[in-house]
Amino acid sequence: MSRVCRRVLGEEKGSVMVMVVICLVVLIGFTGLVIDGGSAYLTRSKLQNAADAGALAGVTVSSGNSKNEARKYTKANEVEHGVNETTVTVEYIAAAATETTEKAYTEDELGQMKPQLEKELNEMTDQEVIAAADEYEVDISSYTNGSGESRTFKTVTTKTREQIKEEIREELNDKDEWSDLDLIKEAEKYNIKTNSWTNGSGDNRKFKKDGNGKGSCITAILNTPAYQTKIDNRLAASSTNYRALVIEEIVANQIEDLRTEQIVITPGNLDRLKVTCTRKVRNSFMSVLGFKNSTVSAVAVAENSSWAGDALPFINLDGYPSTEGEDLEAWNKVGPGDKERISNDDLIVSPHRIQVKYSDGITFKKGKVMSKIKDPLQNIVVVGKTVYLFSIKNSEVDNYKKKADKELKNKDVIPLSDIVLLECIVTEEWNGTGSDVISLEFVKEYDWDDAAKIFISAAGDKPGGGPRLVE
């Protein structure tokens, strides 16, 4: 038996073939590893370069444009989303939700503002109240005497309701103020049928000469709920404080103006942008072993340390120092009821960042309630931190003062040609109440370069330190 076993074990016929097959498989494997692995390495290198470029470019623009900007630069590096089985994804790290546009103020906040707005108007002179009425498009012709800057509030008088009604009737009967067509359209606005009183059609309609069609039309208008209310309001005005009535209407218009104001909210971290480039690579030698494809990915994370529109939500109207290290205050009162505020419509807000949409100029907004920017602002205004503040040029400050050529009205847009960007350091803690000024130390001034579409210093510096890769 042992002799048979030795013969079987000692048989070597065919062993060379087995060794050749094994070595061939190993050789093909190593060859595939070298060739296909090298191809994958080169692909990953290309993807990494593209991801780096995309992340650096995307983080420097507003969040709404980040994806397009990042993919633009990956494409420039021959890595295009959706081409050659390539995917380019762009996302802000830790973003909790998508960017949303919300009303800047809740109805409760608007209600809380009303007493303060009334208080500020009551502290104004008569002329300032009249100017505010003009600014907020309040018709005060019934409440004032005189014209232009000579207008004064009427003195208190007492009239009957019937007298007021006849006054309005006379106004409607005035041919210079109300044509036949105007009256007809006014009646139709309140669903009053005028066919029996008029001749003609369309804009050629006139009251019939026979009968009292015009008088009947006016009577019908006066009996509408809207005109009954108008009569009541004018009756009240004839026996109460005209100034108080004007203030009430101004506040109502201010509240309505604030009600339409919106703000862009971006949750999460806006400072870091992640770009991932992925491509499916077809194998050559490795496909013999059943590995037809491999997936190669590259990731880049960029941190935005540049300015990129980050600024305090104020526009300094009071001038600024010219020497580094001098003190500067933001959020200052510039007139009765006014603060140096940029419209919420021009802001993009996240927990630790405020961006100003400044490309079309800075929109000035009256009022001092900050609402949804209070918390982010308190996170930004930290002692020792570098912040940026928009300001009227020193050479233009006098032109924007009260009664000057460019006196600011609510919603006026200040052109970039009149604006500078100030780099500052926070010097004192800010409590976030919205009433205290923010104490700053002036560092540097940046002028707007319209040709380059950037802010730049006299030495050629740009605000901020530029984006950098962190991963």
- Is 298 in the same domain as 243? no
- Is 65 in the same domain as 196? no
Domain that holds residue 458: 315-469
Contacts of 72 (CB under 8 A, 6+ apart): 54, 57
- Is 82 in the same domain as 111? no
- Is 244 in the same domain as 319? no
- Is 341 in the same domain as 284? no
> Using CA atoms, how far apart are residues 98 and 86, in angstroms rounded to an integer?
24
- Is 115 in the same domain as 237? yes
CA atoms within 13 A on the CB side of 146: 10
77 φ, ψ (degrees, to nearest 5): -100, 25
Q: How many domains does the chain have?
A: 3
- Is 65 in the same domain as 125? no
- Is 287 in the same domain as 354? no
- Please check whether residue 308 lies inside any domain of the structure: no
- Is 437 in the same domain as 299? no
- Please check whether residue 24 lies inside any domain of the structure: no
pLDDT by 10s per residue, the chain, length 471: 555 445 544 555 556 565 655 656 555 555 555 555 667 788 889 999 999 999 888 877 766 678 888 999 999 998 899 888 899 999 877 544 567 888 888 888 888 888 888 888 898 899 989 998 998 889 998 888 888 888 998 877 678 889 899 999 999 999 888 999 999 999 999 999 999 999 998 899 999 887 788 999 999 999 999 999 999 888 877 766 788 889 999 999 989 988 888 888 876 555 678 999 999 887 765 555 556 778 888 999 887 666 778 889 888 888 899 899 999 988 766 555 566 888 888 888 887 778 888 888 999 887 656 667 888 888 888 899 889 999 999 999 999 888 888 988 888 999 999 999 999 999 988 876 655 688 999 999 999 988 888 888 898 888 876 677 877
- Is 289 in the same domain as 385? no
- Please check whether residue 11 lies inside any domain of the structure: no
Contact call for residues 422 and 316 (beta carbons, < 8 A):
yes
Is pTM beyond 0.85 here?
A: no
Among 280, 303, 326, the domain-final residue is 303
- Is 131 in the same domain as 154? yes
- Please check whether residue 310 lies inside any domain of the structure: no
- Residue 462: DSSP 8-state: P
- Is 367 in the same domain as 400? yes
